Structure 1
Amino acid sequence: MIKKLVILFIVIVIVVIGMVFFAKSEVNDYLGQEVYAQGDRLVTIKRGSSLRSALWQMEHKGAIERTSFSRLLPYLYPNLVNIKAGTYQVQEQATLNDLLKEMVAGNEFQYTVTFIEGSRFSEWRTQLSLAKGLQHKTQEMTESDIAKAVGIDKDKLEGLLLAETYHYTTGMSDLDILKRSHNALMRVLNQAWETRKQGLPLKTPYEALILASIIEKETAIESERERIASVFVNRLNTNMRLQTDPTVIYGLGDKYDGNIRKKDLSTPTAYNTYVINGLPPTPIAMPGAKSIRAALNPETSRYLYFVASGDGGHVFTKSLPEHNRAVRNYLRKLRANKSN
């Protein structure tokens, strides 16, 4: 009798061990399956999801195949239990095990949004409204309301946000991006202001941003920024009007159709630097860090004028007769290019 019980016990142990090995094999097969993700290959796990509900979400969307043995996963692999909600990118040929490890580590997919130097806040709003994975909190807000929410004591945001690339994860808001860009701008501006060249005709950091925005619109050539800054600084120091077309364009607003006419140069607006003295009241675009540094550390020169060279850069001159010759040369190049 005892011998029979021992044999029965051994058989039961063998059966149980076999069942455990079989169950673990099935769970391993489940974890080893390739995750199927369409399009941008993103999988989003809702906030508050447990491992079981996350697996159900993926099974329901067809990303992974279902199995009844998935219930054993937390017991056999407790290291995969504490997943974090978020959006994750499925790499090519990634297995469920690979994906769960990313979820436990919280390695969420990073979206990016890039704002171009010289762009306007109206363009930023359009970009943010189209950005994927972002909460859109500012769509019904005025520019003044947004400025207050960001912590800026001005009604206009032009020039107060740093144009660069920003990374974000699912659940962040457009306000979060704007706060980060303003903080980034203030770090660059404060550092540049502390190391600024002495004797500049700029009373406040905000005036430096106004000048930087004009520099940004006047050239995309990095090597020219300090020299163009010197032209405007020299003009301000000698009480000459800035006479820069980008300010005229900004002042025209929606009336600008791609061409500046002679009447536009003489039509008074708060931004028409052919009419007003000194700087316009606000920046006219979002400057990059290089233009901010150029505005506060311009080249030392006697240049008062510049005009397009026709070859992508500019010709700088110190007197009006020299400038007029440079303009005539530029116009000749334009006519020659048109005839060719």
Structure 2
Amino acid sequence: MRRVLIFLLVLALVAAAALFGGYRYWQSRLAAPIALEEARLYEVPQGAGYHRVVGELAREGVIEEAWAFRALARLEPHSLPRLRPGEYRLEPGMSGRELLELLGSDRVVTYPLTVPEGWTFAQMRELLADAPKLAQLTAELSDEALMARLGREGQHPEGWFFPDTYLYHKGVSDLEILEQALARMEATLEAVWAARDDDLPLESPYEALIMASLIERETGAPEERPEIAGVFKRRLERGMRLQTDPTVIYGMGERYAGNITRADLREATPYNTYVIDGLPPTPIALPGRASLEAAVNPEPGETLYFVAKGDGTHHFSRTLREHNNAVNRYIRNR
């Protein structure tokens, strides 16, 4: 009887050792690096369950011992992450457990979409249409239909979308990016308008948006924006036409081929500020915050004219004679 008890005890110890060794080996397989030599993307499909994902990872050679992951579902179901649909970047050296933790996180792959300051809404739409992995919901919509979809029926789209870098992941739509950009511009314009100078010749936030778009298109030199805004303010106050070339270009639309002629300056379009008084009817571009702030806080002074010097900056003049001399120096001679 004693020998039987000893035998059973030894057998139990051997079994326990085997179980412990098996458990340690199983845990070591989950902790081992996945079978990748370089980073790659993996997408958890919408609605995919744990066993389906493990099977796909095994077939694609990401994990070599799928049994260890399947055993996890039976032995430690409480430790399984809730997999989230999306694209994930798998890195060499990450363990099996780190892989599972990643696929249950919100660390999906994101893509940047940069809308430069001064671009037109048409250019922004082209950028959205070409963006990789971005769901296209508005590509077939006209501008009018798009604004109605955004809850802004009858509103001209130009100027209303804040230029910035937006991050998105696969599954996000172009409509969502537009909603973000519209909300950003409306909030920024509201804040800027609230901090405006008291003596502006502008009657509404929308006029400030129009003015900011002119400033944005006139210069890429940040330090010049307030002075250009000051020139425009003084011209409006004196009843002088703004005479800014970017409005002529915008009014020409697709006919613009890189040069403005004297005939173009005389052409009567709703946007040609050489012909019309005051501001154009809508913005002509997407202005950034600096141009918005300059539009409502223009720099005081006496200058009424400016001309491009050819290096990205402008020469500012107080009198027409001084301006004509600057034009001869910087434009006609060149």
Q: Establish whether residue 304 from structure 1 lines up as the match of residue 304 from structure 2.
A: yes
Letter in 2 for 1:234: R
Q: Establish whether residue 42 from structure 1 lines up as the match of residue 41 from structure 2.
A: yes
In 2, distance between residues paired with 1:121 and 1:223?
Answer: 25
In 1, distance between residues paired with 2:96 and 2:265?
Answer: 64
Q: Displacement, 1:203? A: 1.3
Q: Displacement, 1:33? A: 2.4
In 2, distance between residues paired with 1:211 and 1:126?
Answer: 25
What is aligned with 1:147? 147
What is aligned with 1:162? 162
Q: Deviations over 1:207-251 (max 9, x none)?
A: 111111111111111100000011111111111111111111111
Residues 183-262 of structure 1: matches in 2 within 5 Å? 183-262=183-262
In 2, distance between residues paired with 1:25 and 1:220?
Answer: 63
Q: Displacement, 1:80? A: 3.7
In 2, distance between residues paired with 1:183 and 1:37?
Answer: 43
8 Å Cα contact 1:248-1:271 kept in structure 2: yes
Q: Displacement, 1:9? A: 5.7
In 1, distance between residues paired with 2:118 and 2:131?
Answer: 20
RMSD: 2.2
> How high is the TM-score relative to the length of structure 1?
0.90
Moved more, 46-55 or 290-299: 46-55
SS of residue paired to 1:137: coil
In 2, distance between residues paired with 1:61 and 1:288?
Answer: 46
Q: Displacement, 1:31? A: 4.2
Structure 1 residues not aligned, in runs of 5+ = 335-340
SS of residue paired to 2:61: coil
What is aligned with 1:103? 103
SS of residue paired to 1:105: coil
Q: Relative to structure 1, is the Cα distance of residues 323 and 204 closer, same or farther in structure 2, using a 3 angstrom cutoff? A: same
Q: Relative to structure 1, is the Cα distance of residues 157 and 3 closer, same or farther in structure 2, using a 3 angstrom cutoff? A: farther
In 2, distance between residues paired with 1:238 and 1:175?
Answer: 43
Q: Establish whether residue 15 from structure 1 lines up as the match of residue 29 from structure 2.
A: no
What is aligned with 1:64? 63
In 1, distance between residues paired with 2:13 and 2:154?
Answer: 77
Counting matched residue pairs gives: 333
Letter in 1 for 2:305: Y
What is aligned with 1:284? 284
Q: Displacement, 1:5? A: 5.6
Letter in 1 for 2:297: N
Q: Displacement, 1:77? A: 7.2
In 1, distance between residues paired with 2:279 and 2:260?
Answer: 20
Q: Displacement, 1:258? A: 0.8
> How high is the TM-score relative to the length of structure 2?
0.92
Letter in 1 for 2:238: T
Q: Displacement, 1:27? A: 4.7
Q: Displacement, 1:96? A: 3.0
8 Å Cα contact 1:310-1:333 kept in structure 2: no
Q: Relative to structure 1, is the Cα distance of residues 19 and 67 closer, same or farther in structure 2, using a 3 angstrom cutoff? A: farther
8 Å Cα contact 1:143-1:155 kept in structure 2: no
Letter in 2 for 1:61: E
Q: Displacement, 1:24? A: 4.3
8 Å Cα contact 2:248-2:265 kept in structure 1: yes
SS of residue paired to 2:113: strand
8 Å Cα contact 1:35-1:96 kept in structure 2: no
Q: Displacement, 1:34? A: 2.8
Q: Displacement, 1:82? A: 2.3
Moved more, 249-258 or 8-17: 8-17
Q: Relative to structure 1, is the Cα distance of residues 277 and 173 closer, same or farther in structure 2, using a 3 angstrom cutoff? A: same
SS of residue paired to 1:65: coil
What is aligned with 1:52? 51
